[in-house]
């Protein structure tokens, strides 16, 4: 479908890419991985056609439909969540207008039979097109928005009432609804919580087009891609398999290169020894010249550039806790009339690694703030060890950093007596090597600020680390640094995260927060997922068994356990039911008349010249259709 031929891109004297030759097939599932700043977004923009390569070419079909979700936040204003997403179906409105025009044309009595046949043929084609989306686009839009974390009552709210992250979800919904031939997603999981990420995984498995996706979520990549493009130091290398396979192949490739380097070094040493030994011997002059030529022809092989430093962190002394670290007893929290959770009971032991998981807005941050002592519970008790010394990393990292300080200056605040070389070593461990450590906080990127704030928190004297979404804004390499640091930390850790790889590697308990409750599960993410699947399977089996039992149950007359209703009461109930049925019939009739009127208005091309009126009409039409659905369900219940 798409071919990159000898593609090269430069920024000034710096070559970002050179000599890239890659192919995207009709059903490719490609994961784009590499450190921040290596050119992944540039590659996306070239594929979308927003920029051109400096060298080579990108060949693709002229009529290809490409959908692109950038990393940058997309700002939306007054339109509702639903209207912003349903814009993916503007072609449905256009079809309605065209069909209406043809309907008017068919009423012309002066038309010949041939002309009428041609109009009917076009109308039939439009009807077929309309049938693909026209009857389902509203329900599909609502389904995808709810899959991405919006509640039913949110759909008519203006986009401006939601955060940038939620507006990105609307943009993603619109993109998925447009069903492009090629879907380009640049870090989509940055804006999603765990339930939404799992929903997106299921959606992508059924997506019919090609996909190129950049993500720092290793679990996500393992589940949705079948090949990896590794972006590193001016090259893009294609590997077959998911992210785990990519790491294995990369490691194997490195080992092969190391063997080749060793073999070439031995050959070079052997040839040089022969040259040095017989350099002044006339009888060996021909052989010496031959060996020199062989030495000159030996390839210069080197390992790919990469950070090979290991982390040997030295944590400040903190009191050791022998008994319980802390305990939550019947904790509840409400904000005014909104209850976040209730009756939370949790015991934390020394060395525990607790992962808090669940959808955004369910109370993970609130619970961490209660544990940290930054927020009081509405009811219940928090017991803390007298030796407890906690350090709390929040998602709002700017509050913990000073813009005028350098990276070294920030680290010096937590280790005032430490020598500068030692601080530079610590900075290098958190991916601030050399002059990077002298950068001011004010010029750091979001990911760099997160790394610096994590370094300060992790290296502060503490025996309990509280981390709220620590992997946000971190690339894969930085996440490895964080995982290693938490793994070496000698105290207890409680962290909220959507990164299932991190949870799987570190957690010994998973606390799922949802529906106002907090349920504790022993083990890591894989253990929790297996428990959840077993529970889902058991519920499905029980439902099937109950249905089978009800179907096979023989008819039995009701016994005397329930006394018969008196005739007068029966008559009264029947009259009430008839009145209710007539009322529902009347409401259905009124609603259907209004729907018909709105649809006539929606088929008028002039409506679409007035965006405000169009939004009101389509919004009213949508709510009436939903109301009709409920009325029909109500009527069915009354008649049965």
The distance in angstroms from the start CA to the end CA of the chain is 55
| Residue 308 in this model has a pLDDT that exceeds 50 | no
Could you tell me the two tokens for 213? 């996706």
pLDDT in tens, 143-169: 999 999 898 888 989 888 888 788 889
Interatomic CA distance for residues 593 and 595, integer angstroms: 5
Task: Tally the C-alpha atoms within 13 A of residue 489's C-alpha that lie toward its C-beta.
Answer: 31
Q: What's the mean pLDDT when you consider all of the chain?
A: 85
Q: What is the pTM of this model?
A: 0.73
* pLDDT reported for residue 304: 63
Interatomic CA distance for residues 600 and 96, integer angstroms: 10
* pLDDT reported for residue 513: 93
pLDDT in tens, 488-523: 889 999 999 999 999 999 999 999 998 889 899 999
- Sequence-distant (≥ 6) Cβ neighbours of residue 614 within 8 angstroms: 607, 608
Q: Looking at 272-362, which runs of residues are DSSP E strands?
A: 326-335, 338-348, 353-357
Q: Is the dihedral of CA 75, 163, 444, 469 positive or negative?
A: negative
* pLDDT reported for residue 307: 47
pLDDT in tens, 339-383: 899 999 999 999 999 999 998 889 999 999 999 999 999 999 999
CATH code assigned to 326-531: 3.40.50.300
How far, in whole angstroms, is CA 496 from its chain's centroid? 16
Scored b (16 or more CB within 10 A) or e, 485-513 reads bbeebebbbbbbbbbbbbbbbbbebbbbb
């Amino acid at each position: 479908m798409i071919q990159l031929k000898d593609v090269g891109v430069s920024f000034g004297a710096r070559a970002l890419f050179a000599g890239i030759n890659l192919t995207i097939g009709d059903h490719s599932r490609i994961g784009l991985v590499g450190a921040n700043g290596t050119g992944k977004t540039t590659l996306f923009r070239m594929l979308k056609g927003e920029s051109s390569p400096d060298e080579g070419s990108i060949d693709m079909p002229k009529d290809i439909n490409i959908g692109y979700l950038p990393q940058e936040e997309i700002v939306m204003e007054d339109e509702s969540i639903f209207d912003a997403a349903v814009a993916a179906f503007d072609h449905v409105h256009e079809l309605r207008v065209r069909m209406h025009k043809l309907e008017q044309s068919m009423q012309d009595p002066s038309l010949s039979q041939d002309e009428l046949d041609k109009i009917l043929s076009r109308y039939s084609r439009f009807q077929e097109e309309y049938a693909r989306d026209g009857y389902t686009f509203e329900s599909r839009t609502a389904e995808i928005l709810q899959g991405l974390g919006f509640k039913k009552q949110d759909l008519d709210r203006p986009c401006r009432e939601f955060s940038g992250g939620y507006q990105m979800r609307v943009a993603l919904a619109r993109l998925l609804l447009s069903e492009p031939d090629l879907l380009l997603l640049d870090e989509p999981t940055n804006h999603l919580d765990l339930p939404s990420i799992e929903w997106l995984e299921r959606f992508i498995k059924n997506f019919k087009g090609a996909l190129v996706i950049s993500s720092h979520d290793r679990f996500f990549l393992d589940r949705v891609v079948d090949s990896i493009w590794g972006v590193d130091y001016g090259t893009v290398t294609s590997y077959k398999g998911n992210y785990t396979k990519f790491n294995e192949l990369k490691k194997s490739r490195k080992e092969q290169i190391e063997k080749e380097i060793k073999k070439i070094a031995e050959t070079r040493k052997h040839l040089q020894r022969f040259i040095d030994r017989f350099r002044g011997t006339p009888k060996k002059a021909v052989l010496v010249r031959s060996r020199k030529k062989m030495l000159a022809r030996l390839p210069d092989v080197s390992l790919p550039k990469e950070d090979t430093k290991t982390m040997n962190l030295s944590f400040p002394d903190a009191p050791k806790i022998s008994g319980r670290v802390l305990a939550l007893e019947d904790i509840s929290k409400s904000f005014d009339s909104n209850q976040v959770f209730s009756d939370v009971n949790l015991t934390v032991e020394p060395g525990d690694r607790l992962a808090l998981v669940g959808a955004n807005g369910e109370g993970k941050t609130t619970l961490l703030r209660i544990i940290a002592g930054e927020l009081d519970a509405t009811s219940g008790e928090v017991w803390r060890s007298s030796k407890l010394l906690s350090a709390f990393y929040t998602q709002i990292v700017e509050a913990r950093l000073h813009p005028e300080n350098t990276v070294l200056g920030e680290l010096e605040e937590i280790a005032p007596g430490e020598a500068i070389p030692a601080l530079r070593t610590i900075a290098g461990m958190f991916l601030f090597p050399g002059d990077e450590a002298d950068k001011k906080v004010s010029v750091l990127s979001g990911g760099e600020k997160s790394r610096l704030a994590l370094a300060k928190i992790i290296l502060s004297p503490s025996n309990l680390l509280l981390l709220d979404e620590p992997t946000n804004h971190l690339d894969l390499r930085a996440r490895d640094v964080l995982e290693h640091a938490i793994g070496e930390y000698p105290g207890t850790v409680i962290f909220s995260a959507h990164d299932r790889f991190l949870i799987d590697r570190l957690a010994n308990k998973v606390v799922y927060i949802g529906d106002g409750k907090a349920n504790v599960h022993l083990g890591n993410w894989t253990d929790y997922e297996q428990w959840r699947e077993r529970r889902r399977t058991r519920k499905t089996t029980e439902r099937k068994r109950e249905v089978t039992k009800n179907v096979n149950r023989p008819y039995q007359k009701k016994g005397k356990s329930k006394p018969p209703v008196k005739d007068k009461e029966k008559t009264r109930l029947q009259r009430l039911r008839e009145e209710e049925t007539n009322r529902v019939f009347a409401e259905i009739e009124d609603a259907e008349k209004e729907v018909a009127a709105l649809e006539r208005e929606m088929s008028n091309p002039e409506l679409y010249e007035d965006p405000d009126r169009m939004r009101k009409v389509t919004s009213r039409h949508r709510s009436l259709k939903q109301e009709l659905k409920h009325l029909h369900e109500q009527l069915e219940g009354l008649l049965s």
